[in-house]
Amino acid sequence: MSQTPLGLVRAAPAAPYIFTFDGRTLTALPGQTLAAALWAAGIMSWRTTRGGGAPRGVFCGIGVCHDCLATVNGRPNQRACLVAVQPGDVVTVQEGTGHDATR
């Protein structure tokens, strides 16, 4: 028996599907959060702070801290730890608040 989480529970997820992150093609398993899919791809940061451009990714993992915000399909401020990746999603790094400076 495999010693991975999927092996331990004998899970048989459906086939992975494609999404993009800043133009890079990645895969996700059905039901996988954006944060988990990005981590699996070795990506630890997908937002920069408004004050100094410091990189951010998952901190709390339960949607409380808002460090994991990303822009998904043109919609800013999506919590990557809560959003399930959908086939064909287009995800980009979010800079600061994710809103146009004129807002």
pTM for this structure? 0.80
d(CA 72, CA 78): 7
- Answer yes or no: is 6 within a domain: no
Q: How far is CA 44 from CA 1, 20, 39, 55, in A?
A: 29, 15, 6, 9
Domain holding 44, by residue range, is 17-95
- Answer yes or no: is 101 within a domain: no
- Answer yes or no: is 102 within a domain: no
- Answer yes or no: is 1 within a domain: no
Q: Could you give the number of structural domains in the chain?
A: 1
- Answer yes or no: is 10 within a domain: no
pLDDT tens for the chain, 103 residues long, are 567 777 777 767 789 999 999 999 999 999 999 999 999 999 998 888 888 888 888 888 888 888 899 999 999 999 999 999 999 999 999 887 776 544 3
